[in-house]
Structure 1
Amino acid sequence: MGALLKAEFRKTFTTNLWWALLIPVAVIGFGAGWMGTSFVGFLNSIQQLDRPVPLALLSVAMSANFSTIFGALFGALTIAGEYRNKTITTSFLTSNPRSAVLIAKLILAAAVGAVYGLVNVLCASLGGLVGASQNIGQFGDIGDWLSVGATCVLAMVLWTLLGVGFGALVANAVLAIILPLVYKFVVEFIVSMALVSSNVSGIGPYLPGSAGNGIVSNLAVPLFIAAVAGPDEPDVPRVAFEILHVFFGGHYGHAWWASMLTFLAYTAVFIAGGWWASRRRDIA
């Protein structure tokens, strides 16, 4: 396994794929952080706010929810790309069993996904500092910020692992790129809108994309509202949560850990499917 892991890391870091997908993760993180704190500064210039508004918590959630797709694409292409280039043949022929290759790729994906998540959080923090002009009150409590940042890294790792399973399942580099993008930004959006006024709207939080987004947003939104409302304020109406969830992802009353468990189940299903397909697929 050690030699197989070394080979997987060497194959990854001697190609352009990992850093090419890291660039948009960094750009999205910086842009979201900068826009979030800049907007609070704009509001503060119009009317002096009586307490800090930690919009950076929501900004990092938004940046994570847009960036995780790049982790999924990386994971999918690490194995689907090998099927396209026929390099998977050597890996399968020199390892026994084939599942060892998949395990090595999952370990690689978890490591790279953690790097992607950390870069996203750090760039969002840097962008937030630039937009806030060093007014760190817009970041909220340091414990809240670290908690949201940790869920960002966790979400990125899980999306990257799901991508490996999906890439092993379809074994086609084109489909590995197109299908996740179309599903997350088109299909699930349409399905979610259709569910809003239906009798089965309760299944919304359990859709793959919603569950993945909820890992971060279902923590960030309540922390943001608690910080803005303050301990002396009456109960915040449900509509305030729902409006923020519309823009920043997640669902009212659905805990972040419930979203994590739901998405973890999807990840396990795709990995199992990829393992099954890899064992049965002929190689050439």
Structure 2
Amino acid sequence: MALIKAELLKLRTTRLWWVMLAVTIAYVLLQLGLTIGFAGQGGGPNGQPIFPGRDTVPFQELMWGLGASGALFPMILGVVMMTAEYRYQTITTTFLTTPRRERVVVAKLGAGVVVGLAFGLVVLALTAVAVAVSVPLSHGELVLSAKILRIAAGVLAVLVLYTLFGVGLGALIKNQLGAIVAAVVWVFIIEALVNAIPALRPVGKWTPAGAGSAVTNSGVDLGLGTDYLLPAWAGAVVLLGYAVLFSAVASATTIRRDIT
């Protein structure tokens, strides 16, 4: 616990965490605003609305899942939590202070969980405000169903997972710029293509993005299809598996690496 507190202290003494938080807020607000603005309007197949009307329950379920779209930014923060130690050569002092490197890695992962949860809670708070304002203005009735709770829990899980992914990626790729570029390419190119191309979807459903979409799936088809996704419980299991995998990668690469 002392090491986790130390890692969080390192993070709090830099400006990057609140910059990433501000960018996350802006990005999620953009997603929420676009969904609210285009809700109920045509443009889908056979002239059907792309997004459900603001007075419907599917609209609320869709809104609650949008927070997962901001997962890139806590992931970048996770990368920096690891790679900044190498960039500024503080990793030597860290490992001299705590020679058992696996404890340092576990502490960084523990701090990553806290960061992911904090970002997730902020995102869910923004979503709650957006839903609470937009639905009554459209004469809809606010609901808090078991499905919405599952979607909200999925958003938290996705943001935590991607933060851990960032820590693991930073342990694997010491170069900070290289690790951040790899993270962006993974989210915006590799996972986006794999989950958008129908022929690749049998593989895409097993990626972190596919598993996260399964957990936060509202059942609303936005043109990419949702029938290929895993069940929500299976998506949660896959997310947990990736978290374990990222932890193992982070531990194995950092413990065995020569840092001199």
Question: Structure 2 length as normaliser, TM-score?
Answer: 0.84
C-alpha change, 1:202 and 1:191, in structure 2 (3 Å) is closer
| Counterpart position of 1:231 | none
Q: Does the CA contact (< 8 Å) of 1:212 and 1:260 recur in 2?
A: yes
Q: How big is the shift at 1:71?
A: 1.7
Q: How big is the shift at 1:103?
A: 1.0
Where do residues 56-71 of structure 1 align in structure 2 (5 Å cutoff)? 56-64=60-68, 66-71=69-74
C-alpha change, 1:192 and 1:31, in structure 2 (3 Å) is closer
**AA of the residue aligned to 1:26:** I
Alignment of 1:28 with 2:31, yes or no, is no
Q: Does the CA contact (< 8 Å) of 1:129 and 1:136 recur in 2?
A: no
Alignment of 1:191 with 2:194, yes or no, is yes
| Counterpart position of 1:72 | 75
**AA of the residue aligned to 2:203:** I
| Counterpart position of 1:204 | 204
Provide the identity percentage. Answer: 31
Q: How big is the shift at 1:142?
A: 4.2
**AA of the residue aligned to 1:25:** T
Q: Provide the alpha-carbon RMSD of the alignment.
A: 2.7
Q: Does the CA contact (< 8 Å) of 1:35 and 1:128 recur in 2?
A: no
More moved, 180-189 vs 55-64: 55-64
Distance 1:11 1:265 in 2: 28
Q: How big is the shift at 1:17?
A: 1.5
Q: How big is the shift at 1:260?
A: 2.0
Contiguous gaps of at least 5 residues in structure 2:
43-52
| Counterpart position of 2:38 | 39
Q: Does the CA contact (< 8 Å) of 1:72 and 1:161 recur in 2?
A: yes
Q: Greater Rg, structure 1 or structure 2?
A: 1
Question: Structure 1 length as normaliser, TM-score?
Answer: 0.78
Where do residues 20-169 of structure 1 align in structure 2 (5 Å cutoff)? 20-40=19-39, 52-64=56-68, 66-132=69-135, 134-135=137-138, 137=140, 140-169=143-172
**AA of the residue aligned to 2:224:** V
Deviation per CA, 1:143-195: give whole Å up to 9, x if none: 4333321211121111111211111111221122111111221123333455x
Distance 2:143 2:39 in 1: 12
Where do residues 169-188 of structure 1 align in structure 2 (5 Å cutoff)? 169-188=172-191
| Counterpart position of 2:224 | 246
Q: Does the CA contact (< 8 Å) of 1:37 and 1:132 recur in 2?
A: no
Q: How big is the shift at 1:136?
A: 7.5
Q: How big is the shift at 1:252?
A: 3.8
**AA of the residue aligned to 1:257:** W
1:261 aligned counterpart, secondary structure: helix
Alignment of 1:216 with 2:219, yes or no, is no
Distance 2:147 2:235 in 1: 18
Distance 2:140 2:32 in 1: 14
Q: How big is the shift at 1:245?
A: 6.8
Distance 1:268 1:97 in 2: 20
C-alpha change, 1:136 and 1:78, in structure 2 (3 Å) is farther
| Counterpart position of 1:236 | none
Distance 1:252 1:139 in 2: 29
More moved, 274-283 vs 256-265: 256-265
Q: How big is the shift at 1:134?
A: 4.3
